[in-house]
Structure 1
Amino acid sequence: MSSKHFSELGDSASRVLDAAEGLIQQQGYNGFSYDDVARLVGIKKPSIHHHFATKAELAAVVAQRYTHRFRSELLIIEGRHAKATDRLLAYAALFEQRYTQDRGLCVCGMLGAEAASLAEPVAAEVQLFFRSNLDWLAAVIKEGQQQGLLRSSVKPAALAEAWHSAMQGAMVLGRGLQSDRGPAQVAKSLLATLLA
């Protein structure tokens, strides 16, 4: 894991994180440089190195902060929705919100696609994002099966993988087709096949 924690960073470092996050969502880890970040933030490259010695450290903290925000959103979903089906659709809405902004993709989805070229701290943060999402989805799906809302013929962990894969894939497919059909619509179609 990264030795830095995003909550301990000041405003200047947070602006660097914001710029790097946007670049990763649009171009991936291998598609941006510190020069790109410096231009977006309006600072010199050595100032970025002052906050993040390496690109790997920067990307790890970006992924860490992204995962934290995403997990916070999952808690909000739990507080707003009692039914598993509503929670699954609200989960899809998180991806839809990201997708409709500028066709940007999930930070950890983009980083996951480049897993073979990631340094260990970045890969570890990406894995944490995926594991926490799959665990949450599996728990929601299991609850939905117990509520009699979702089919129980498939294990919750397998359905969690399918659901998360569908959300990530909907963003990639929508971007590739330059389509307005995003994760929310894909989720509605998928949910229709899962209802008990």
Structure 2
Amino acid sequence: MARVRIAAVQMVSAPEVAPNLEAARRLVAQAADAGAQLVALPEYFCVLGRHESDKLRLRERDGAGPIQDALAGMAQRHRLWLVGGTVPIACADPARVRSACLVYDSAGRRVARYDKMHLFTFHAGAERYDETRTIEPGDSPIALESPFGRLGLSVCYDLRFPELYRRCGNVDLWFVPSAFTAVTGAA
């Protein structure tokens, strides 16, 4: 695998999409200006709501919507590959979404979609999370060929399930976009 400059964007996402997309655009532009050829955004970069159900109102049809358009535009504008954190994608169950990690090539074409397979449940005092209430799990691990080698995709809590990684075989570079609170990060 040839040398590649990669940027991992860290951001504090808010409950509204517009300021998050603006922050992502600014940070991806900074990474591109610094020579990044591949940029990764975090899980829930587009919205980290106050309630788990907030992502339902923002769901997009697969392949269309302002969040997906923004990701494609950033990749194309800066001529880089972009791992788009996670995007809430509509599924058959109207009460849930798929938490999809989307990858775009330097022409702005989507080249991969991975749906988070392992959903997080956590209860400690006042802080409670149960992704199974609003997210439908994916069922297929994903690895893809790129100019930078074979890339593997997973999301956050998937990290605790090594069989997902074994099923993808040889991978040069894993992406695991994640979002934690102070409490869940310690869990």
After TM superposition, the score normalised by the length of structure 2 is 0.27
Larger Rg belongs to: 1
Of Structure 1 and Structure 2, the greater strand share is in 2
Q: Which has the higher contact order (CA 8 A, sep 6+)?
A: 1
After TM superposition, the score normalised by the length of structure 1 is 0.26
Of Structure 1 and Structure 2, the greater helix share is in 1
